[in-house]
Structure 1
Amino acid sequence: MESFTFPFDINELPSTLKPFLRTLQSSPILPALKPSSVSDGVAAFLFLLSALGYITKGRLWDKPDPYYKVWFERPQLADGGSSNKGAVTRNIVQRLEEGDYQAVIFWGSQSGTAERFAETLGREFHTRFGINALVADISDFDVESIADLQQKYFAIFLLSTYGEGDPSDNAAGLWDWIKRIKDRATRVESLRYVAFGLGNSNYKYYNRVLDVVVDAFDAAGATSLMPPQRADDAEGATEEDFQSWKDDLFALFRSLGYEQKAVAYQPTVSIELGERVQSEKDDSVHEISMHHQQTSLNSAIFPLPVRNCRELFTAGDRNCIHMELDLGNNDLVYKTGDHIGIWPCNPDEEVERLLETLDLNERRKNTLRIAALDDSAKPKVPPGSTLEAAFRHHLEICASVSRKTVFDLAQFAPTPEAKAMLTEIGQDRTRYEQFTSSTHITLARLLKLSSSLEPWTALPLSFVVENLLSLQPRYYSISSSSVISPRRIALTALVVNKQVADENHSTINGLTSNYLLSASKLPSNAKAATPSFQHTSPVGGDGGTVFAHVRKSKIKLPITSSTPLVLIAAGTGFAPFRAFLAERAKLHALGKPVGRMLLFFGCRNRESDYIYRDELEKLQETLGDKLRIVTAFSRDGNNKKVYVQDRVAEESETVLEMLNAGANMYICGKASMAREVDGKMEEAVAQQKGMNESEVKNWTDGLKKRGKWRADVWG
């Protein structure tokens, strides 16, 4: 039989294909397919071409990308920013053995505080006790392997609680495992652990994550080396609570036979002042996004021109501003109910005070050369920034100074008197609390107060940068509807100026609210002078340009416009509800069906700070009996103080009726108010439905899980 001839040279093909094609060539199949016409020949050629393509897939074409897995790796692993670089195991015991670690510090963090504490603790374990500790993101490991930790290891958990008693996103796996421990009676008898929780006592479920995890571990046979402790951010005490817990933890290790060394300051970054920037142009505002990651929840940061600013209070010594930001032609979009994150800068006065105290006024325009000396050190200032830009745009120089920082500053004091003062305050918590309760102490003010005549020339810049936090955005509920105003974002901001009970009657100025007031060009109603800020040049706006990004929120209108709404707000908590009502009014005007709405609104005084009163009256006219407004005023010229939670209690029967009919209930404002509203509603449910405490909790939890009861609150 005549053999078949391929229309190509087999010898030129890869060696892996040659044996197969020679076998096919000598078989009786292909010669039998010898074409008898041109059309048969074309068909045979196309058949062979398709077969050849199929056979050579992955060899000659469509080869697997050897770096495909990189798309699914964390970028910090490639940059050397993780302590787990090069690790191929998610088993925590194996990882500890490979790295010759004696302890593991797990962190569950939503805002970054617990992570920062964990990194600090890991460094101090090594420098003070010689303990090699692995600082671990809980999500980097299989949480089931925690049960295999032997007693020779110390396990430390730093866990934050936020929202409705929820764990941080990276601790979701731990949370699920803890539930399985309870359900399956899993034992963890070899686990020796210490736990510290971060939370805010203004919230109903204060430090719930810590309590649930500790209870589960103890029930499963784990050994707690010391009682769990809790940080409370209600009064800004998180840093001090952590320091006190750390002192107790170090005392524990000393009792276990570890020798604690006195450690001199060891920088984690090297900082030098380089060349001087000649341009007057602000060299760092455009770099403000270096600590911001664009995600599915957070947009990129954009400069937004300020438009249409107005004062909402009609009397008094406070400001509440309405401000609109123009989205222009950029890619920024938002949905009704979202949050806007405002990136402020520090006030001129504080920047000047810090530069002067450090005797660096003449070098403000010199660039910073920063190099990490420790794997855990994270950049806070963009490369090429000037010293002034770092203090103005990237570091929290207006924040209070922690007791540990006060104590550590003493070693660099320019005079013996300053050293003695700082040592006394820094080593005694009671003394520190007395001092800070009557004085707002920023870093610059502390340096100035302790040594008013001598500059702090011996204080390393690395110490300053390490002990100042990165400047973070402040979030506001968007008070405009994306349906009505898709290219304008409105926000409602109360300007905060808190009086301090010291001999000088000092004022603590809210950073971002005063920054927004400055950008609005509106006059201040405060009795004391307000800070001044640098703003980028306005682009045809009423004021300056602010940097902002949008963050998605769970506070959303129901898809069906006929769903009834119960809206509960105090003060500027009304902001998202302004958008809700405006959107519903628009639909109603177009003839669309809208559900019944019950709004509870509380503020101090009917005449002075009833914000958006004119708008609400117009909405009432438009919506008619679809909207009912119930107000509460705590300082309305009579002796009785009425709060929004009191009105909710009075109208609880109506609220329950609406919830039973399928209404959505939203609460927005301070966490303490929301907690009180929850309590009033639970009392009403117990009384009107005849439920016990457990049944009430199941009922409210059911509404919250179905998205029928939502809260957007702050501390």
Structure 2
Amino acid sequence: MADLASSLHPFLQTLQDQSAQSLVQALKPQTVTDRVAVLLFLLSAFGYLSRGRVWDKPDPYHNVWFERPQQEGGNTSHKRTETSRDVSQRLEEGKYQCVIFWGSQSGTSERFAEALGRECSSRFGINALVADLSDFEPESISSISQNHFAIFLLSTYGEGDPSDNTTGLWDWIKSIKDNEKSLSNLRYLAFGLGNSNYKYYNRVLDVVADALDATGATALIPRGRADDATGGTEEDFQAWKDDVFALFRKMGYAERPIKYEPSIEVSFTTGEEPHESTTSVTHQKSNLNSSIASLPIRNARELFTAGDRNCIHLELDLGHHELGYKTGDHIGIWPTNPDQEVNRLFEVLGLTARRQETVKITALDGSCKNKLPPLTTLEAAFRHHLEICAPVPRKTFVDIAEFAASPDVKSKLLYYGQDRDRYAQLAASTHLNFARLLQLVGPGHVWNSLPLSFVLDTLLPLQPRYYSISSSSVISPRRIAVTALVVNHNLSPESVIHGLASNYLLSATKLPNNASGPSPSYSLQESPESEGGRLYAHVRKSKFKLPLTSSTPLVLISAGTGFAPFRAFIAERAKLHALGKPVGHMLVFFGCRSAESDYIYRDELEKFQTQLGDRLEIVTAFSRDGNKKVYVQDRVAENSTRVLEMLDAGANMYICGKASMAREVDRKLEDAKVASGSGESEVKAWTDALKKRGKWKADVWG
């Protein structure tokens, strides 16, 4: 047997070799298609095996996206180190007497909460915990004892929506109403921030306070409301705060004399130089969807054909920046303060000679957020970082009085600061920013007695101004179009409030100024490669989006520059139509003053009309053509039957422009629905259902 196996071995080995060769030959690619398939297989295998090693590596800083952002380089002592999310436990451990909760989308409620917390301490010795609502479990509010009390400062935006950091409280409030939970131990005060131009004015405040009352909580004073429609948010808060302080006196808290206590230490330094980024806004790391980039201006042009106003179109070139956008998003423009106001502030403070010197800013209060880089120049602070053009609230009059150089100046400050009506009358007739106020009460006086820390503490941080993007990311992915009305508000022949960002844009584009008076000048970023300057900007994501299906009909309602996103919507639909895609009918309502002067993008609309034919229908409203004023909401009312039919058939409706216009459009359509036989409760359910499904959207302001 061994001999047999030995003799068969060469034969078997030959068969095995031939089989292996046949297998290799069979597996060997025979055609170009086979070779491509093998290559793709090998690349896929390499990609799978190298993921996380060569590419798509885990971001070690991924967690930062889920933390409350802080400013780069700033003092970090204010970051919360406590881990407890039980507010009642925090109150006990920190020996706090009260908690001030804030819910904010733009930062105003947060600013009010921080200011109120400081005043509670300095004026009444009340140790207040200033708390972001998202930092605590809302259920723990029910455990707050009667030895403490809670203050709620709540913003409402959009269609009666809570701010992002209020969603946890919002859900909990609904649950306690359903579960009939008792909150009889809770004592509270509540103040809401809203705009009466919106249909659901201060809805968040009312929903929360009504639920607390229904579950046995005790409101220590009536709820307060701010109305931004009249520009009275600061004054409304001040009036409510006066009632709060009156309550504290009744509760037995002794009031101390008002004295300024700095939250920052400011010193001039020659040993350290600020980083280049601190001379602009690029150091900012607030609640942004994207980084801030310096972008060159392209294709700037005037849109109005007559009159004494400007409406400008410009495009920002994204180039190779990582910045990107989607149709319907917003662009945040970071303006600089005009030369005249920067110079005015330096002169009245007696700091002109020190404007280029470096200042070092150190936070003294652990809860204080830095609004300035730790090292910067005074020039950069006043030009790029602080709202030096903003109107001065009444409280600032009283605060400045502490540093008045003479009894006469102090008397003037208190005369207006301690009387709401006098202040309102002055503010209605005079443009009062910080520097102008100092000039008004002390003509020719240099305020070198005013601490620089007070000035930097008092002035608000400069904020971006948002514009609806008027270009389509499908057609123009690396260009962002901006449509801006240049605003100049005449209080009197001698006093004009120039819109900060819009005049900044006009200056940057180098287009002629159509206004009768002079326009402010700005220190601009030069851009040799373009016809205009450069702008700092970032992109803010929006839910104001086209439906995924291009065949969905659209109802588009706008007035003035509210047409901006619809320019992008129509252009994108026209492009899809040119590519052979099915496009739904678009009924467009547009309103402006006159067909001859401010019908923006009229030539483009006519081209779209030619391309799209009966798929695009335009209904116009002109408020200053002829003897009768016709507004866009009037045209909607005239065509309400068609609009309702389109909505019932599955169309999407979008409204963009001033909030007052959007509110009127809502009312006209609801009236038409009632006239068709529906009850008021049915109409409300109908509109709520459309909005919940994203079929009725609004992008409005003011």
What is the TM-score with the length of structure 2 in the denominator? 0.89
Alignment of 1:84-103 (within 5 A): 85-103=80-98
User: Relative to 1, partners in 2 of residues 1:437 and 1:68: Cα closer, same or farther, differing over 3 Å?
Assistant: closer
Deviation at 1:571, TM superposition (A): 0.2
Deviation at 1:126, TM superposition (A): 1.2
Question: Which of 118, 134, 151 does residue 139 from structure 1 map onto?
Answer: 134
Describe the superposition over 1:588-626 as per-residue Cα deviations: whole angstroms up to 9, x where unpaired.
Answer: 112211000000000011100000111111111111000
Alignment of 1:568-579 (within 5 A): 568-579=557-568
Partner of 1:671: 659
Matched, 1:395 2:382: no
Question: Which of 553, 565, 568 does residue 554 from structure 2 map onto?
Answer: 565
Deviation at 1:294, TM superposition (A): 6.6
Deviation at 1:485, TM superposition (A): 0.8
Partner of 2:282: 289
Alignment of 1:262-661 (within 5 A): 262-275=257-270, 283=276, 287-293=280-286, 298-501=289-492, 504-636=493-625, 638-661=626-649
Describe the superposition over 1:218-244 as per-residue Cα deviations: whole angstroms up to 9, x where unpaired.
Answer: 111111000001011112211111111
Given that 2:279 and 2:377 are in contact with CA atoms closer than 8 Å, whether structure 1 keeps it comes out as: no
Matched, 1:156 2:151: yes
Q: Hey, what's the Cα distance between the residues in 2 that align with 1:708 and 1:585?
A: 21
Given that 1:276 and 1:367 are in contact with CA atoms closer than 8 Å, whether structure 2 keeps it comes out as: no
Count of residues paired in the alignment: 642
Partner of 2:230: 235
Partner of 1:680: 668
Given that 2:277 and 2:283 are in contact with CA atoms closer than 8 Å, whether structure 1 keeps it comes out as: no
Given that 2:75 and 2:370 are in contact with CA atoms closer than 8 Å, whether structure 1 keeps it comes out as: no
Given that 2:74 and 2:370 are in contact with CA atoms closer than 8 Å, whether structure 1 keeps it comes out as: no
Partner of 1:258: 253
- The one-letter code of the counterpart of 2:131 is A
User: Relative to 1, partners in 2 of residues 1:576 and 1:447: Cα closer, same or farther, differing over 3 Å?
Assistant: same
Given that 2:484 and 2:561 are in contact with CA atoms closer than 8 Å, whether structure 1 keeps it comes out as: yes
Partner of 2:47: none
Given that 2:104 and 2:155 are in contact with CA atoms closer than 8 Å, whether structure 1 keeps it comes out as: yes
User: Relative to 1, partners in 2 of residues 1:529 and 1:335: Cα closer, same or farther, differing over 3 Å?
Assistant: same
- The one-letter code of the counterpart of 1:170 is N
Given that 1:283 and 1:389 are in contact with CA atoms closer than 8 Å, whether structure 2 keeps it comes out as: no
Given that 2:308 and 2:514 are in contact with CA atoms closer than 8 Å, whether structure 1 keeps it comes out as: yes
Q: Hey, what's the Cα distance between the residues in 2 that align with 1:75 and 1:571?
A: 35
Question: Which of 691, 694, 698 does residue 685 from structure 2 map onto?
Answer: 698
Given that 2:78 and 2:368 are in contact with CA atoms closer than 8 Å, whether structure 1 keeps it comes out as: no
User: Relative to 1, partners in 2 of residues 1:652 and 1:148: Cα closer, same or farther, differing over 3 Å?
Assistant: same
Deviation at 1:697, TM superposition (A): 0.8
Deviation at 1:411, TM superposition (A): 1.6
| 3-state SS of paired residue (1:397) | coil
Partner of 1:174: 169
Q: Hey, what's the Cα distance between the residues in 2 that align with 1:108 and 1:264?
A: 28
Describe the superposition over 1:518-572 as per-residue Cα deviations: whole angstroms up to 9, x where unpaired.
Answer: 0010000001100000111214111100010011111111111101000000000
User: Relative to 1, partners in 2 of residues 1:423 and 1:283: Cα closer, same or farther, differing over 3 Å?
Assistant: farther
Partner of 2:160: 165
Deviation at 1:629, TM superposition (A): 0.3
Given that 1:293 and 1:300 are in contact with CA atoms closer than 8 Å, whether structure 2 keeps it comes out as: no
Query: In angstroms, what is the RMSD of aligned CA positions?
Result: 2.1
User: Relative to 1, partners in 2 of residues 1:396 and 1:207: Cα closer, same or farther, differing over 3 Å?
Assistant: same
| 3-state SS of paired residue (1:665) | strand
| 3-state SS of paired residue (2:699) | strand
Given that 2:156 and 2:193 are in contact with CA atoms closer than 8 Å, whether structure 1 keeps it comes out as: yes
Q: Hey, what's the Cα distance between the residues in 2 that align with 1:316 and 1:468?
A: 36
Given that 2:87 and 2:137 are in contact with CA atoms closer than 8 Å, whether structure 1 keeps it comes out as: yes
Q: Hey, what's the Cα distance between the residues in 1 that align with 2:67 and 2:303?
A: 49
- Which deviates further from its counterpart, 82-91 or 454-463? 82-91
| 3-state SS of paired residue (2:283) | helix
- The one-letter code of the counterpart of 1:451 is G
Matched, 1:711 2:686: no
Q: Hey, what's the Cα distance between the residues in 1 that align with 2:63 and 2:500?
A: 43
Deviation at 1:332, TM superposition (A): 1.0
- Which deviates further from its counterpart, 123-132 or 521-530? 123-132
Deviation at 1:384, TM superposition (A): 2.5
Describe the superposition over 1:23-80 as per-residue Cα deviations: whole angstroms up to 9, x where unpaired.
Answer: xxxxxxxxxxxxxxxxxxxxxxxxxxxxxxxxxxxxxxxxxxx999999765769998
Given that 2:558 and 2:655 are in contact with CA atoms closer than 8 Å, whether structure 1 keeps it comes out as: yes
Deviation at 1:505, TM superposition (A): 2.8
| 3-state SS of paired residue (1:516) | helix
Q: Hey, what's the Cα distance between the residues in 1 that align with 2:546 and 2:486?
A: 28
| 3-state SS of paired residue (2:376) | coil
Partner of 1:191: 186
Matched, 1:115 2:110: yes
| 3-state SS of paired residue (1:475) | strand
Partner of 2:13: none
| 3-state SS of paired residue (2:627) | coil
Partner of 1:48: none
Unaligned stretches of 5+ residues in structure 2: 1-59
Q: Hey, what's the Cα distance between the residues in 2 that align with 1:79 and 1:385?
A: 12
Deviation at 1:457, TM superposition (A): 0.6
What is the TM-score with the length of structure 1 in the denominator? 0.87
| 3-state SS of paired residue (2:402) | helix
Given that 1:302 and 1:548 are in contact with CA atoms closer than 8 Å, whether structure 2 keeps it comes out as: yes
Identity %: 67
| 3-state SS of paired residue (2:300) | strand
Q: Hey, what's the Cα distance between the residues in 2 that align with 1:293 and 1:686?
A: 45
Given that 1:358 and 1:457 are in contact with CA atoms closer than 8 Å, whether structure 2 keeps it comes out as: yes
Given that 2:227 and 2:236 are in contact with CA atoms closer than 8 Å, whether structure 1 keeps it comes out as: yes
- Which deviates further from its counterpart, 525-534 or 267-276? 267-276
Partner of 2:23: none
Q: Hey, what's the Cα distance between the residues in 2 that align with 1:95 and 1:148?
A: 11
Given that 2:78 and 2:369 are in contact with CA atoms closer than 8 Å, whether structure 1 keeps it comes out as: no
Q: Hey, what's the Cα distance between the residues in 1 that align with 2:438 and 2:446?
A: 8
Partner of 2:242: 247
Given that 1:232 and 1:238 are in contact with CA atoms closer than 8 Å, whether structure 2 keeps it comes out as: yes
Q: Hey, what's the Cα distance between the residues in 2 that align with 1:522 and 1:69?
A: 45
